[in-house]
Amino acid sequence: MPRFAQYSRVTPRFWLAARLGLAVLLMHGFAVAQLCSGTSEDGCTNSGAACRPVTRGTGITGQCQTVGTAKGLRCECIGATYIDLTGRWSANDGGVYYVRHIGNDVWWAGMSTETPLGIADLHKGLQFTNVFHGQLSGPVVAGGSSVVLTGDWAGVPRGSALGSGSLTINVSGAQMVVQTASGGFSARTWNRADATPPLPAAIVTLEELPIGFDPGNIFSIFNLVKKNQNAFRDHSLLDNLKPAKSKPVVVFGNLLQYQSPVDILGKISYVPDPADPAAMHVNYHPTDCREYTGFICLDGNNSPPDGDIDFDITVDRTRLDAQIGFWSQGWETGASVNATNFRNKLQVINRLHVESIMYGGTTECNEGIGLTMLPGWQQPGAAGVLLNGVPIAGKMEFYWRDAPYYSSAITKILGRQVNLNDRVRITGNLVLDCGHGVRHNCDEDASDVQNQEIHPVYSIDFVQDFTKPRLFPTLTGVWSADDAGTYYVRQLGTTVWWLGLSPDESPAYADLRQTFANVFQGTIQNGQVVGNWVDIPLGDTANSGAMQLALSAGPESTAMTRAGDAGAFSGASWEKLYDVATRDIVIGFESVSTEGTMPPTAEPFEFTIGGKRTEAQPQNGQPVSNGGNPSMRAEIGTRIPVTVTGANPLQISVAFAGHRANWTIPVDDLKPGVYTQTLTPPRVVPSAAPQPASLAVTAGNVSTPAPLTITYRIENASPPR
């Protein structure tokens, strides 16, 4: 019999059963879900009952709930409340995560911090910055059970940790908890942190932030930051500098021969000195104290060298004029500075003087440490001036020059040679120098007065010479776009991620959003990168869309251009600043040995490599012969995958029962082989604790603990990528 005939014979029975089932379901549904009833005095008379239709919330059915006030109550059918995860979250790895929730899709950028939620950090994400994209198994409902979020993450080269992997996370309205994680992801729990974090107690107690101080106003910040001078009208940055723009700018150029400032009748000009070949100088003696108290009180606070790094650049006007919004937005027109008079100055001499301050503190001599409001080249970590993404933290080589210079010439910064004509990108505050002459004139309209500066500096990027051979070139690296943003790009196979940030990072204690911050995920297809981007709530915009990028040379490209429309996304062209090569290795900690006995403890070994922490318990302890001396050896047997980033050295620390070791391996020394490291014993012997059977060779405590020696092996996990 044909198959259609079989179906024709059973169809009447099927529809009869279906109609009966539907009738039962409808009768049951109306019996359970009904209209809400109540009075204006008592509210719901059937509170909690299932109801339909829903008058507030979402869903087909809801619950009867009393709403209103004592002046007038009513009973409504309230449906489910779906929760939007968009916002700021705090994680147990010390990072702050900016989450964007669109439908069932979740994106984020997670950044390490040095203060709670980064409230006093001038740069977030220096230890790690990761991006994520995943999908929820269903909507997040208030009061409901958690749903599952699954997706992929990747470290991007704003931080030094470049892991990648997948995540499975249980999500509720106020918390996220990791189920499974791969690739060395460190966070395990997140909690909502949308509220502005409180100021540190010391600030509130000491009232160090003056009344009326506005951390979002650049004039207010300049007025608070002190110079190491005690002259008339020369205490703060605002006494000498007038901000030309409200937010930091980005300018490309090339290092020039140093130009000496010359004061002619109260007008400052910069004149090249042919006898001075150095590209950068610092107004500080190499032997002078580097601590803040020594800097701010130098030479009795009587107009000493100011500690600024000074240099000049010729401006890349093609790049500057093409930068979106540079000439049309953000000018301090209320302070008589506008695009026209600033452009006129550059038309005369297409140069900018650049100065990086040593400290951005708020106290004068003998007033204590105070706060840090602006980046300084001697300041460490998140408060420092960055060179290719790494805090300078005073790591410079310079030598003193007597008359007529009375300053130091810089030869290297963070081990990098500084040369004339090096191409750089400078991020910092655009200002007019008003500190010279009797009247401190700013000469806003005087195009012949060359007092245009970037001062202070937030970051210096030396642009890589891509005509020279490159090590493992991929798209991974740091890029600059025509929207003035910095794009931290990571390529993993054919997948491409980025985090894009505008240059206006939130000032200290301000908790302000940047102009924009976005995350992208795409794939390389036929010479293009095709994917999607979303704005995250670190920035002021909340858009999203699809994007296609044309590559100049496939994965080895140093330029990208946007192909077609990308919605509200503004940037259209990207230039690579420098490569960040990565290499996967495995460090295997094989064994531990010591003369005498092992420490009597059940503690595990704690390994921290590149900021990633792992534990391992020693096993199979047994006595061994060491030249006739009683010794012990135990197996560790743990293998830790590590991604080595660029030229950054690998930092390792190991702790076990009070024994510790910290060491750094330069990237050139990360070669396959077997190595040893000594762990120094504690000063005080720990008290006896239960001894693992595997290590219980002798009884009693150790009177004089001996050092431990660990043996570890370095292996290449995969070819460089």
Domain tally for the chain? 5
Please state, as a whole number, how many other Cβ atoms lie within 10 Å of the Cβ of residue 226: 22
Q: What is the pTM of this model?
A: 0.77
- pLDDT for 460-478, tens place per residue? 999 999 999 887 789 999 9
For residue 13, pLDDT beyond 60: no
Which segment, 19-23, 165-169, 607-611, is predicted with the most confidence on average?
Answer: 165-169
Q: Of 34-48, 119-133, 469-483, 642-656, give the lowest mean pLDDT range.
A: 642-656
The one-letter code for the residue type at 10 is V
Given a contact cutoff of 8 angstroms between Cβ atoms, the answer to whether 408 and 282 are in contact is yes
Rounded distance between C-alpha atoms, residue 187 and residue 182, angstroms: 11
Give the mean pLDDT of 125-141. 95
Backbone phi, psi, residue 150, to 5°? -125, 140
Q: Tell me, what's the pLDDT at 600?
A: 67
Which residues pair with residue 608 across a beta bridge?
A: 613, 653
Listed residue (374, 622, 408, 380) closest to 509, CA to CA: 374
Percent of the chain scored above 90 by pLDDT?
57
User: Are 699 and 603 found together in one domain?
Assistant: yes
End-to-end CA distance of the chain: 63
Tell me the pLDDT of the chain averaged across its residues.
Answer: 86
Among residues 525, 215, 547, which one has the least CA distance to residue 362? 215
> What is the arithmetic mean of pLDDT over 200-227?
78
* Contact partners, residue 627, CB within 8 Å, separation at least 6: none
Is 702 a member of any domain?
yes
Q: Helical H runs in 457-551?
A: none
d(CA 129, CA 185): 11
Do 254 and 332 sit in the same domain of this protein? yes
In a domain, 564, yes or no: yes
Residue for token pair 């147990």: 92
Instruction: Let me know whether 430 and 338 are in one domain.
Output: yes
Beta-strand pair 43-44/38-39: antiparallel
| Whether residues 628 and 711 fall in one domain | yes
> Average pLDDT, stretch 129-142?
94
pLDDT for 389? 94
Structure tokens at 628: 């006739």
Task: Give the angle 179-499-82 at the CA atoms, nearest 5°.
Answer: 50
194: left (phi over 0), alpha (psi -120 to 50) or beta: alpha
Phi, psi of 123 (to 5 degrees): -135, 125
Nearest-angstrom CA–CA distance, 327 and 329: 6
In a domain, 104, yes or no: yes
> In angstroms, rounded to a whole number, what is the distance separating the alpha carbons of residues 107 and 416?
36
The strand pairing partners of 457, in sequence order, are 428
For the segment 200-207, the average pLDDT, to the nearest whole number, is 63
pLDDT at 693: 43
Which of 192, 215, 241 terminates a domain? The answer is 192
CB proximity list for 642: less than 8 A, separation 6 or greater: 584, 585, 586, 587, 609, 610, 612, 650
Q: 399 and 324 in one domain?
A: yes
User: Which pLDDT score is estimated for 697?
Assistant: 38
Residue 30 belongs to a domain: yes
Single-letter amino acid code for the residue at 103:
G
pLDDT at position 112? 95
Give the burial string for 346-365 (b: 16+ CB within 10 Å, else e): beebebbbbbbbbbbbbbbb
The residue from 417, 436, 462 where one domain ends is 462
Structural domain includes residue 52: yes
* % the chain with pLDDT above 70: 85
Segment 137-145 mean pLDDT:
87
Measured over the CA atoms of residue 500, residue 503, residue 504 and residue 508, the dihedral's sign is positive
Statement: residue 134 has pLDDT above 90: yes
- Give 31's pLDDT tier (boundaries 50, 70, 90): very low
Residue 471 belongs to a domain? no
pLDDT, tens only, 426-460: 999 999 999 765 567 899 999 988 899 999 999 99
Residue 496 CA to residue 532 CA, distance in Å, equals 11
User: What three-state secondary structure class fits 179?
Assistant: strand
Residue 509 clears pLDDT 60, i.e. is over it: yes
Side-chain-side CA neighbours of 71 within 13 Å: the count stands at 0
**pLDDT above 80 for 627:** no
Regarding whether 348 and 329 lie in a shared domain, the answer is: yes
pLDDT digits (tens, 9 = 90+) for 560-605: 999 989 999 999 999 999 998 777 788 999 999 988 777 766 789 9
Alpha carbons within 13 A on the beta-carbon side of 571: 25
Contact predicate 219/209, CB 8 Å = no
Handedness of CA 419, 421, 422, 427 (dihedral sign): positive
Backbone angles phi, psi at 339, to 5 degrees: -65, -35
| Interval 20-29 mean pLDDT | 42
Query: What pLDDT score does 29 carry?
Result: 40
The mean pLDDT of 499-503, rounded to a whole number, is 98
- Strand-pairing partners, residue 664, are 651
DSSP H helix total and E strand total for the chain: 6, 44
Q: Does pLDDT of 174 surpass 50?
A: yes
Conformation bin of residue 432: beta by default, left when phi > 0, alpha when psi is -120 to 50: beta
Three-class SS of 670-710: CCCEEEEEEEECCCCCCCCCCCCCCCCCCCCCCCCCCCEEE
277/419 Cα distance (integer angstroms): 9
Please give the angle made by the CA atoms of 510, 249 and 203, to the nearest 5 degrees.
20
User: SS3 for 136?
Assistant: strand
pLDDT at 650: 82
CA distance 43 to 69: 10
Range scoring the smallest mean pLDDT among 130-139, 309-318, 449-458, 504-513: 504-513
User: What is residue 264's predicted lDDT score, i.e. its pLDDT?
Assistant: 65
Structure confidence at residue 260 as a pLDDT band (50, 70, 90): low
Structure token digits, residue 152: 């992929």
Binned at pLDDT 50, 70 and 90, residue 22 comes out as very low
In this structure, the answer to whether residues 319 and 424 fall within a common structural domain is: yes
Which residue, 599, 607, 591, is CA-closest to 653?
Answer: 607
Tens digits of residue pLDDT in 312-368: 999 999 999 999 999 999 999 999 999 999 999 999 989 999 999 999 999 888 887
519: its two tokens: 């995350």
CA 219 – CA 332 distance, rounded (Å): 10
Decide: 281 and 420 in contact? Cβ < 8 Å: no
Regarding whether 595 and 705 lie in a shared domain, the answer is yes
**Average pLDDT of the segment spanning 305-316:** 95
One domain for residues 13 and 124: no
Boundaries of domain holding 188 = 87-192
- Geometric angle at alpha carbon 431, from 273 and 396, rounded to 5°: 55
Q: Is the residue at 467 inside a domain?
A: no
What is the Cα–Cα distance from 659 to 247, expressed in whole angstroms? 48
What is the model's pLDDT at position 695? 45
Statement: residue 9 has pLDDT above 80:
no
Cis peptide before 139 (omega within 30 of 0): no
Question: Where among 80, 109, 143 does a domain terminate?
Answer: 80
Of 247, 363, 258, the closest CA to residue 312 belongs to: 258
Tens of pLDDT, residues 649-680: 788 999 998 899 988 887 778 888 999 999 99
**Is 149 in the same domain as 176?**
yes
Residue 607 forms part of a structural domain: yes
> 632 by DSSP, 3-state: which?
strand
Please state, in angstroms and as integers, the Cα–Cα distance from residue 641 to each residue in 133, 166, 219, following that order.
23, 15, 48
Pairing status of strand 673-679 against strand 175-181: unpaired
Computed over its alpha carbons, how large is the radius of gyration of the chain?
Answer: 32
409 and 518, same domain (yes or no): no
408 in the same domain as 295? yes
Report the pLDDT value the prediction gives residue 591, as an integer from 0 to 100: 92
| Strands annotated E in 236-334 | 241-243, 249-255, 259-264, 267-272, 281-282, 309-315
**pLDDT band per the 50, 70, 90 thresholds, residue 647:** low
Integer Cα distance of 537 and 517 in angstroms:
7
